[in-house]
Amino acid sequence: MSHTTNQSRIRLFLVTTSFVSACFLTDVYAGDNPIDGKETLSSYSRVTHVRMPKHKRAIATTIPQTVHEAPSPVFKRIALKASELRTYLNERVIGQEEAMASFAAFIHMHFTSIALNKWIEENPVEAAASGMVACQKSNMLMIGQTGCGKSECLKQARHYLKAQGFDITIVDASASSLTRTGYVGLSVSDLLAEALRLNNYDVYKTENSTVIFADEIDKIAASTSERLDGGRDITGAAVQNEFLKPLQEDTIQLRIEIIPGKKETFHICTKNILFVGAGAFKKLHVSPDNRITDAALSEFGFSDEFVGRFQNRVLFKKLAQSDYLRVLQSNFSVIKEKQGLLKNGYGIDLTFSYPALTKIAEGAFMRPTGVRALTSIVEELVLPYIKNAERYEGREVQVRESDVVAIIPHTPQEKMAVWDGKTVDSREPEMSLELRNTLYS
């Protein structure tokens, strides 16, 4: 009897000890002091599953779990902002504010269209549900006199886009040098081959980051005789026809000799390749509201099919003499460039007086080469200091109005005053033969 009682007492003691231990362990795992600093639902459930009674074990293991579904893909706008590109261009292409606004908008639209089309291609279900439609590319015509900033705006846009992560490749060619395939000279296919070469024969990069700039595109307008008799030459209407397929959206097959004696075949889709044509288009009719109509371009000598593939037109205005002065005074002018060159390369501090700047602008405005004439004049003014760099090193020198007049006199009286009794070379092609003979006599 006594032995049985002792066994009962021992059994009761063991049960009590187990219960207290279970409570202690539960408090440790479920309390405010998580193990290893992690208070998780899985650790709590693990302990209670072992220690809890069966009827409570079921409750602990049926706690609802949160299920995270992958969010539907959403098209993200490109980082490029048209307004910032416009501001950047206006600081560097002076006097063409309206043209830069249009140009920046068209460039932004082009790269937005590429990004949108790529997203639609990768997410067709979501695109269809949202009613999104792929965009067709819009090529661009830039129309304006020589030296008004057409080439410069594209060059500066490339610098800005590259800084923003858009590594574009520009193929720069003169359309006047293009001929029909099979004749001596460059063909339109050669422009695509050059784009491929510049992109290290990367087809994807060529298709999505290339801009083909065809300057002097007005030179491939069909001649009057072509339009009248329906004939085709090798540089006019025929080249326009060669442009039609790549201007649209087509796949062009190219056979290129990368290794001497061995040609490789490439297929280039032109869907995302932007074509920019530029030219002076002299005698082109411009509407009163400064628009270039399809009818005016057709009358100028372009086929309707060719005109229809250049949907965007940017009209550059004729710069005034005051615009030339603004160009000289800008922070990105040729003068700033030459001042930095002489200061850092030769130790010469160069300045220009305001009357000298005015005279340079006046002289450049009279020349037929546009703002490029500013560079020619400034180069000529700076050259003597470079020729005699040792003499001027460590000195401050200033270009004065008389220095400018000495190289670009504007009137016969100024010419005679500067060159009287001197041996001179004519520096002005517009000078009349009579005046030339007078100066040399």
- Model confidence, pTM: 0.74
- Please give the average per-residue pLDDT across 62-83, as a whole number: 74
Confidence category of residue 54, pLDDT binned at 50, 70, 90: low
Q: What is the pLDDT of residue 419?
A: 47
261/210 Cα distance (integer angstroms)? 28
Give the three-state DSSP class for 311.
coil
CA 386 to chain centre: 35
Digit-coded pLDDT (tens) for 192-210? 999 999 999 999 999 999 9
What one-character DSSP code corresponds to residue 63?
A: P
For domain 321-408, the CATH architecture is Orthogonal Bundle (1.10)
Q: How many CB atoms lie within 10 A of CB 304?
A: 11
Continuous segment of H or E residues that includes residue 169: strand 169-174
211/166 Cα distance (integer angstroms)? 12
Q: Please name the amino acid found at residue 140.
A: M
Q: What is the pLDDT of residue 123?
A: 94
* Residue 388 vs residue 179, higher pLDDT: 388
Bridge partner residues of 171 (DSSP): 212
Q: What is the pLDDT of residue 121?
A: 93
Q: What is the pLDDT of residue 28?
A: 44
Whether residue 129 has pLDDT greater than 80: yes
Cβ contacts of 5 within 8 Å, gap of 6 or more: none
* Six token digits for residue 156: 């500066």
Average predicted confidence (pLDDT) for the chain: 81
226/232 Cα distance (integer angstroms)? 6
30/35 Cα distance (integer angstroms)? 10
- Please give the average per-residue pLDDT across 16-24, as a whole number: 51
Confidence category of residue 25, pLDDT binned at 50, 70, 90: very low
Whether residue 46 has pLDDT greater than 60: no
Q: How many CB atoms lie within 10 A of CB 320?
A: 12
Q: Please name the amino acid found at residue 69.
A: E
For residue 265, which of 203, 191, 185, 195 has the smallest C-alpha distance?
203
Per-domain boundaries in the chain: 2-60, 82-315, 321-408
Q: 12-21, 312-321, 380-389: lowest mean pLDDT where?
A: 12-21
Characterize the bridge pairing of strands 251-259 and 262-269. antiparallel
Q: How many CB atoms lie within 10 A of CB 316?
A: 24
Q: What is the pLDDT of residue 375?
A: 95
Q: What is the pLDDT of residue 24?
A: 44
Confidence category of residue 325, pLDDT binned at 50, 70, 90: very high
- Please give the average per-residue pLDDT across 10-21, as a whole number: 54
Whether residue 19 has pLDDT greater than 70: no
Digit-coded pLDDT (tens) for 93-128? 999 999 999 999 999 999 999 999 999 999 999 999
Q: What is the pLDDT of residue 235?
A: 61
Cβ–Cβ under 8 Å, residues 244 and 305: yes
Q: What is the pLDDT of residue 69?
A: 61
Q: What is the pLDDT of residue 290?
A: 84
* Six token digits for residue 200: 């290290």
For residue 115, which of 134, 138, 130 has the smallest C-alpha distance?
134
296/286 Cα distance (integer angstroms)? 8
Cα Rg of the chain, angstroms: 38
Q: What is the pLDDT of residue 33?
A: 47
Report long-range pairs for 312-315 (Cβ below 8 Å, ≥24 apart): 312/102, 312/106, 312/138, 312/139, 312/140, 312/141, 313/140, 313/141, 313/143, 314/99, 314/102, 314/103, 314/106, 314/140, 314/141, 314/142, 314/143, 315/98, 315/99, 315/143, 315/144, 315/286, 315/290, 315/291
Q: What is the pLDDT of residue 259?
A: 86
Q: What is the pLDDT of residue 70?
A: 62
Digit-coded pLDDT (tens) for 228-270? 455 545 568 889 999 999 998 899 999 998 888 889 999 999 9
For 123-208, where are the alpha helices, taking DSSP H only? 124-130, 150-163, 188-198, 203-208
153/369 Cα distance (integer angstroms)? 17
Q: What is the pLDDT of residue 373?
A: 93
Q: Measure Cα distances from 94 to 321, 332, 368 in Å.
A: 12, 10, 18
Q: Please name the amino acid found at residue 317.
A: K
123/121 Cα distance (integer angstroms)? 6
* Residue 36 vs residue 381, higher pLDDT: 381
Q: Measure Cα distances from 74 to 79, 132, 213, 219, 398 in Å.
A: 15, 12, 34, 46, 60
CATH number of 82-315: 3.30.1490.20, 3.40.50.300, 3.40.109.10, 3.90.1010.10?
Answer: 3.40.50.300
